[in-house]
Amino acid sequence: MQKWEYATVPLISHALQEILNQWGEEGWELVQVVESQATGTTAFFKREKA
């Protein structure tokens, strides 16, 4: 059975590509992006546990 780990990351509009590429290079897959007045824009990532 696969096991996953998850991360939430605040996204800054002027650095979106850099942030997403950095997490992708580390093996994280973008699952969802949520916008909220309370917390701003947040990216949800997952990757398989080693």
The pLDDT of residue 12 is 92
The pLDDT of residue 50 is 84
User: Tens digit of pLDDT for each residue in 11-50?
Assistant: 999 999 999 999 999 999 999 999 999 999 999 999 999 8
Q: How many domains does the chain have?
A: 1
Residue holding tokens 């309370």? 38
The whole model's pTM is what?
0.88
Distance CA 47, CA 50 (A): 9
Q: Domain span at residue 19?
A: 4-48
Q: Where are the alpha helices (DSSP H) in 1-50?
A: 16-25
Q: Which residue spans within 1-50 are E strands per DSSP?
A: 4-10, 29-36, 40-48
Distance CA 9, CA 43 (A): 5
